[in-house]
Structure 1
């Protein structure tokens, strides 16, 4: 098989990785407060293709982080992925953003809860086993001291919510892995390859990111 280009833009991290047979070859990413995805994404793609010594025609598929996450970030990533798939006539693969985030945790027991910041005390979260089996579907939830109280064993939290959640999620079996903050295209490589092998792709024309909540435009304050 050829190469899969993985695109992750669901959070502040603008990340692109080139992979072959599920192994990341090159990854370029940057996490900035200002969400520089529109400026950085296509530059990263061009640089990676050039550094790998290939052309876009060598790509077998494009994988994109499907969400949940930033509305604008997801739109930028999905639009770029769709455009490439259409132009190159190759399949589009959608990867669960929270699963990619959870896959950065290497433990043999317990549960993994990846969380992406929404606003105030709200997060997007799911629950995974160490083998990335989804134990609870994705939810938008308000975090309080009773959240996840029914979970037994060690619970590992990852994502960009540690600072605001640690004050209320403070049970003895809770562990915050603060170094794992954002999903990355590096971790998409293995996930997208598994989907590619079984032809688990999405329709290029009709695929939409998984926003989880409706996007609302509000009028600026005067």
Structure 2
């Protein structure tokens, strides 16, 4: 039996899940902005302790690779790398949007296309488009949303939009009869198990020294406002 620790820090939601093969054993989630660095180590420890497991029981660590928050992804990746190095176990990475789509795909009995979205501020989102079989129709990329967004898919298919970036798209493209919006869905470690297990079985491990999250955008630091 393989035991995989999954970490999700791509957005303001910080979550941890433990899987035995593809079965979810335990899960914790906190929706506290800008707290990942403080919360994540203790969440890992308490989740393992609640399952009577220790870090020595882990087979691998899977981290959400993004896209998403630069700071959140950096924190999750750093902690995942540290655990893998100390325990001498493999590092896995799961595309944040693909994990969300894999969860929604379980309920897709209508053959709809799936479009997970993560808020990238203003009218921009990170998104991809996947068909009902899980194949990628449009790769993960940033999109500036307007009334023509995803029209090539909406002309031929019902498209399900979900994730914390989908709400601001509803006013612009929600009038299309083929556009369906699923609310209150955010990236979560509990969605990562299936894809992480597939990577473990195929030995698709990441290099601890060189792996970087899927930021999509370069980090831009802002100068603090001067105090008069």
TM-score (norm 2): 0.94
1:199 has 2:200 as partner: no
Deviations 1:149-194 (A, max 9, x none): 11121100010023311110121110000032x1111110111001
Aligned to 2:182: 177
Structure 2 regions of 5+ residues with no counterpart? Answer: none
1:153 is paired with a residue of what secondary structure? coil
Structure 1 regions of 5+ residues with no counterpart? Answer: none
Which structure 2 residues correspond to residues 147-158 of structure 1 after superposition, within 5 A?
A: 147-151=149-153, 152-158=156-162
Aligned equivalents of 2:131, 2:19: Cα separation in 1: 25
Q: Aligned to 1:144, which of 143, 146, 171? A: 146
1:220 has 2:224 as partner: yes
Aligned equivalents of 1:154, 1:192: Cα separation in 2: 28
Aligned length: 220
Aligned equivalents of 1:130, 1:76: Cα separation in 2: 33
Aligned to 1:107: 108
Aligned equivalents of 1:214, 1:120: Cα separation in 2: 16
Aligned equivalents of 2:152, 2:98: Cα separation in 1: 21
1:210 is paired with a residue of what secondary structure? coil
Aligned to 1:81: 80
Aligned to 1:2: 2
Q: Would you say the 8 A contact 2:10–2:64 is kept in 1?
A: yes
Aligned to 1:11: 11
Aligned to 1:56: 55
Aligned equivalents of 2:158, 2:58: Cα separation in 1: 40
2:41 is paired with a residue of what secondary structure? helix
2:210 is paired with a residue of what secondary structure? coil
Aligned to 1:20: 20
Q: Aligned to 1:129, which of 108, 111, 131? A: 131
1:104 is paired with a residue of what secondary structure? helix
Report the CA distance between 1:87 and its aligned residue: 0.1
Q: Would you say the 8 A contact 1:22–1:194 is kept in 2?
A: no
2:192 is paired with a residue of what secondary structure? helix
